[in-house]
Structures are given as structure tokens and as C-alpha cells.
Amino acid sequence: MDSKLLNNIHKNKIFYRDGEFMTKPQAISVTKPVSEDLPKEKFDELEEFIDGMETTKGALIEILHKAQHIFGYLPRDVQLYVARKLGIPGAEVFGVVSFYSYFTTKPRGKYTISVCMGTACFVKGADKVTERFKEKLKIESNEITEDGQFTLRDVRCVGACGLAPVVMVNDKVFGRVKVEDVDDIISKYEKQEV
């Protein structure tokens, strides 16, 4: 490389990337995977949100919240997109997503039923409550019903131990839930009475 070229690179007059010289810094190309579930418009919305941020430094969790709000969940392609967009390793994004139980990598049903399996709830029979949900909905934990209405999850203490055993359906809390209450809770949501 001749000294003039080196000098210009040094002065930021010429940029070098991927084996090519260019006179302007180019935006990093960030591929947007497109499928029926992951349409380009949703990536555009996420991109607009990220580009509108004053700084993305330390904003990974906020961005993932937004991404989950837009897509409903965080599939691998969305996580990789965020990583590329922020110029950070995919492993960093995967690590954050798997650490926080709030984030989900699978699509969720319209209603997410979270049965608390923390100690206080467990000793008061949360395991039996969750078994009844499984039986009634014909799914296992972390699965979605065929009609896309319900997702069942086991969660850690939700901070309402005085009401144990606790079940949450989306943001609504049901306390002191008995096995006999399960059918009622499901049917309320099926009939959209809640």
C-alpha cells in the first residue's frame, strides 16, 4: 500500500472495508430476512426505532423489548438482525434473550397463562394446577394451543406469594387458584369475558 493511500486512510479521506477502498463510510449492510411471520415491514419498524435512538449503547434490552413488541417473539433471525444492526456479537444478544424469562423465542398465543412455580406457590399445589391446565389445553409448558389462543408457561416467583398459588393470564393475576378453578379461567378467556 503506497504512503499517499495510507495517509488518506489515516485522515479518514479513504475508508477500507471488506477488501475495498471507498471515499465515504458505507452503512453496514444488515440483511432483513423475510417470511410470512417475519415481514419486511416489521423489520423496517424496528430499524426506524433503532435509528431514531440517540445512542444504542447500553440499549440492547430496550431494543429487544421493542422487537418482541413488534414481532410478538424473538426468533433467531430477529436476534441476529439486532446483533448486526448494533455491531455486536450474536452471542451477546442470545445471552440476554435467554437470561430474561420475559423474552420468548417462540410465538405466543393470544393469552399467555403463567403458572407460578416459586416455592410458596409450589407448596400450595401449583404443580397440580399446571397439570390441569396441560390436560385441559392439551399442551405442555411453553407450547401454544393449536388455535393459537393459549400459551402455557411455568414461571418463577411473580412477587405475590401471599396469594399463592398464583396464575397470571397476560397481565391479570388470579390468586389462591385451585385445580377446580382452572376450567373456569380458561372458559372466561374462550368466551372473552375478561
Q: Footprint of ligand FES on this chain (CB under 6 A)?
A: 116, 118-121, 157-161, 164, 166
Q: Report how far residue 79's alpha carbon sits from residue 23's, in angstroms, rounded to the nearest whole number.
A: 31
In the chain, the largest separation of any two C-alpha atoms, in whole Å, equals 81
Confirm if 64 and 105 have CB atoms less than 8 A apart: no
Cβ-based nearer residue to ligand FES, 43 or 174: 174
Q: Tell me the closest approach of the beta carbon of residue 128 to ligand FES, in angstroms.
A: 14
Integer CA distances (angstroms), 122 to 26, 119, 142, 155, in order: 55, 5, 18, 11
**Residue nearest ligand FES, Cβ-based:** 118
Cβ-based nearer residue to ligand FES, 82 or 152: 152
Cβ-based nearer residue to ligand FES, 77 or 181: 181
Cβ-based nearer residue to ligand FES, 59 or 161: 161
Q: Tell me the closest approach of the beta carbon of residue 127 to ligand FES, in angstroms.
A: 12
76 backbone dihedrals φ, ψ, rounded to 5°: -55, -45
Q: Tell me the closest approach of the beta carbon of residue 121 to ligand FES, in angstroms.
A: 3
Read off the DSSP letter of residue 57: T
